[in-house]
Amino acid sequence: MADHYEVLGVDRAATPEEIKKAYRRLARELHPDVNPSDDAAERFKLVTHAYDVLSDPDQRERYDLGPQAGFGGGAGGFGFGDIFETFFGAAQGRTSGPRSRRERGQDALLRIEIDLDEVIFGTKREVDVDTAILCETCAGSCCAPGTSPVTCDICRGTGSIQRSVRSLLGNVMTSSPCGTCRGYGTVIPNPCPTCAGQGRVRAKRTVTVDVPSGVDTGMRLHLPGEGEAGPAGGPNGDLYLEVKVKHHDVFSRNGDDLLATLEVQMTDAILGTTATLAALDGDVAIEIKPGVQSADIVTVKDRGITHLRGGGRGDLKVGIQVVTPVRLNSKEQQLIKQFSESRRPVPPEFATFQQGLFAKLRDRFLGI
Q: Are residues 283 and 303 in the same domain?
A: yes
**368/364 Cα distance (integer angstroms):** 6
pLDDT of residue 173: 74
Helix, strand, coil abundance in the chain, percent, nearest 5: 25, 30, 45
- 44 lies in a domain? yes
101 exposed, middle or buried (CB, 10 Å; 0-12, 13-18, 19+)? buried
CB-side exposure of 116: number of CA atoms within 13 Å?
A: 18
pLDDT of residue 310: 72
Q: Is 211 helix (H, G, I), strand (E, B) or coil?
A: strand
Q: Last residue of a domain, which of 39, 55, 71?
A: 55
**165/70 Cα distance (integer angstroms):** 8
Alpha carbon 19 to chain centroid distance?
A: 50
Label the pairing between strands 150-151 and 160-167.
unpaired
Other beta carbons within 10 Å of 50 = 24
Full domain range(s) for residue 207: 108-140+193-245
Query: For the residues of 3-69, what is the DSSP string, one character each?
Result: -HHHHHT--TT--HHHHHHHHHHHHHHH-TTT---HHHHHHHHHHHHHHHHHTSHHHHHHHHH-TTT
CB-side exposure of 79: number of CA atoms within 13 Å?
A: 22
Q: Is 143 annotated as a binding residue?
A: no
Q: Are residues 267 and 320 in the same domain?
A: yes
* C-alpha distance across the termini of the chain, in Å: 82
Residue 136's region, left for phi above 0, alpha for psi from -120 to 50, else beta, is alpha
pLDDT of residue 70: 34
Q: Are residues 123 and 209 in the same domain?
A: yes
Contact call for residues 213 and 221 (beta carbons, < 8 A): no
Q: Are residues 292 and 342 in the same domain?
A: yes
Q: Is 142 annotated as a binding residue?
A: no
Contact call for residues 26 and 47 (beta carbons, < 8 A): yes
Q: Is 192 annotated as a binding residue?
A: yes
Q: What is the pLDDT of residues 53-86, one digit of tens each?
A: 888 888 888 777 764 443 333 333 334 444 344 3
Q: What is the gyration radius of the CA atoms in the chain, in angstroms?
A: 40
Q: What is the pLDDT of residues 301-331, one digit of tens each?
A: 999 999 987 778 999 999 999 998 888 888 9
DSSP state of 308: S
Alpha carbon 291 to chain centroid distance?
A: 56
- 277 lies in a domain? yes
pLDDT of residue 245: 94
Q: What is the pLDDT of residues 201-226, one digit of tens each?
A: 999 999 999 999 999 999 999 999 99
Q: Are residues 218 and 261 in the same domain?
A: no
- 164 lies in a domain? no
Other beta carbons within 10 Å of 168 = 5
Q: Is 195 annotated as a binding residue?
A: yes
**222/242 Cα distance (integer angstroms):** 9
Question: What CATH number has the domain bearing residue 229?
Answer: 2.60.260.20
- 45 lies in a domain? yes
Q: Structurally, how many domains does the chain consist of? A: 3
Angle CA 337–343–349, to nearest 5: 95
Q: Are residues 358 and 296 in the same domain?
A: yes
Q: What is the pLDDT of residues 340-367, one digit of tens each?
A: 778 766 677 766 655 555 566 666 666 6
Closest by CA to 16, choosing from 43, 56, 44, is: 56
Read off φ and ψ for residue 90, nearest 5 degrees: -65, -35
Using pLDDT thresholds of 50, 70 and 90, give the confidence band for residue 87.
very low
Q: Are residues 284 and 232 in the same domain?
A: no
Q: What is the mean pLDDT of the chain?
A: 83
Q: Is 138 annotated as a binding residue?
A: yes
Q: Are residues 219 and 346 in the same domain?
A: no
Closest by CA to 203, choosing from 107, 130, 135, is: 130
Q: What is the pLDDT of residues 232-271, one digit of tens each?
A: 999 999 999 999 999 999 999 998 999 999 999 998 999 9
**322/290 Cα distance (integer angstroms):** 12
Q: Is 165 helix (H, G, I), strand (E, B) or coil?
A: strand
